[in-house]
Amino acid sequence: MRSDLTLGGLLVALSALGYATNPIFAKIGYMYGATPITLMAIRFVVASLGLWLAILWRGNGGGLSVRQRLQLVGMGVFGFAVVSLLYFTAVQSINASLATGLFYTYPALVAVVGFVRGEGISKWGWMGLMLTAAGTWMLLGRLGGFTWQGVVLILSSCSLYTAYILVGERWTRDIPPEVATAHVTSGSAAVFLVLSFLTHQSAPSPGAYLAGTGLAACSTVLALITFFAGMARVGPTRASIISTLEPGFTVLMAAVLLGERLALLQTLGIVVVVTGAVLAQQRDQATVGTVRQV
């Protein structure tokens, strides 16, 4: 039992590491001439192919109605594709560490929307909301590493992701996560392929293709598989808490691979935001902790 919990925790931590590579691969892709549109086209096409191959190999892709499939693809077209475009456009003008720190305000937004809809928030949840607000102020308080345009884009992405979570919680219920994600990524891939054609995007360099493939492999396929494999062993509550390692992993990788440095106040701000994210999830651990699929 203890060894199973240890393995589960390691798998969820590996998932957090995979998700943490999002802004890192984005920065690398931009260095090699990619644009947000071309980078996302590569990411979602490769991820879709990988996920569908895995589904065919396991033989668990059937049983969905036409309506369910259209809903899932629609989540990709109208939801996650827009979230990704906003996020990866923002990463062009904001530090990778700050991008992840700001994006991690989404658990607090989910809690606020739940409260507006009549769902309760525990005293720890309220404390989490206050910490999230304080941490965000610490991240942005007269410090560098970002433009305000980038901040607006990342917070817009975070807000839309909150809506995506709330819709997805209802539409993906009882659907295997890899099947749901394969449909979502397919819808997103279609959007960015069309955008690439309509905006006459030039083909990026081989380095950009490698970065896009890294995004697909690490922050989509690997992160998804390891998260749900780990959650099956440790449960949604522990999984959601372990997943908050993601910003820390991003800070370390950004420092080592990109040479980014945060001011002390910003570093503390990320710690406070992550603590707030953990506490905000006390409202409904299972929902917030498990819906992150792509």
Q: What is the pLDDT of residue 282?
A: 64
Confidence bin at 246 (pLDDT 50/70/90):
confident
Residues present in the chain in total: 294
Average of per-residue pLDDT across 220-238: 79
- pTM, two decimal places: 0.84
Give the side-chain half-sphere CA count within 13 A for 84: 33
The yes-or-no verdict on residue 251 having pLDDT over 80 is yes
Specify the 3-state DSSP secondary structure of 146. strand
Is the CB of residue 241 less than 8 Å from the CB of residue 282?
Answer: no
- Closest by Cα among 195, 199, 165 to 180: 165
Q: What is the pLDDT of residue 294?
A: 57
Is the CB of residue 284 less than 8 Å from the CB of residue 237?
Answer: no
Q: What is the pLDDT of residue 291?
A: 46
For 13-44, what is each residue's pLDDT tens digit?
Answer: 898 899 889 999 999 999 999 999 999 999 99
Average of per-residue pLDDT across 107-119: 77
Confidence bin at 289 (pLDDT 50/70/90):
very low
The yes-or-no verdict on residue 280 having pLDDT over 60 is yes
Is the CB of residue 75 less than 8 Å from the CB of residue 167?
Answer: yes
- Between 110 and 62, the more confident residue is 110
Q: From CA 107, how far away is CA 104, in angstroms rounded?
A: 7
Q: What is the pLDDT of residue 287?
A: 44
Please report, rounded to a whole number, the percentage of residues in the chain having pLDDT higher than 90: 30
Pick the range with the lowest mean pLDDT from 34-43, 72-81, 267-276: 267-276
- Between 106 and 23, the more confident residue is 23
Q: What is the pLDDT of residue 153?
A: 93
Q: What is the pLDDT of residue 236?
A: 66
The yes-or-no verdict on residue 284 having pLDDT over 70 is no
Q: From CA 212, how far away is CA 230, in angstroms rounded?
A: 25
Pick the range with the lowest mean pLDDT from 72-76, 110-114, 247-251: 110-114
Average of per-residue pLDDT across 57-81: 87
Average of per-residue pLDDT across 48-76: 87
Q: What is the pLDDT of residue 168?
A: 79
Three-state helix/strand/coil letters over 68-102: HHHHHHHHHHHHHHHHHHHHHHHHHHECHHHHHHH
**Mean pLDDT of all residues in the chain?**
84
Q: What is the pLDDT of residue 281?
A: 66
The partner residues of 94 in beta bridges, in order of sequence, read 146
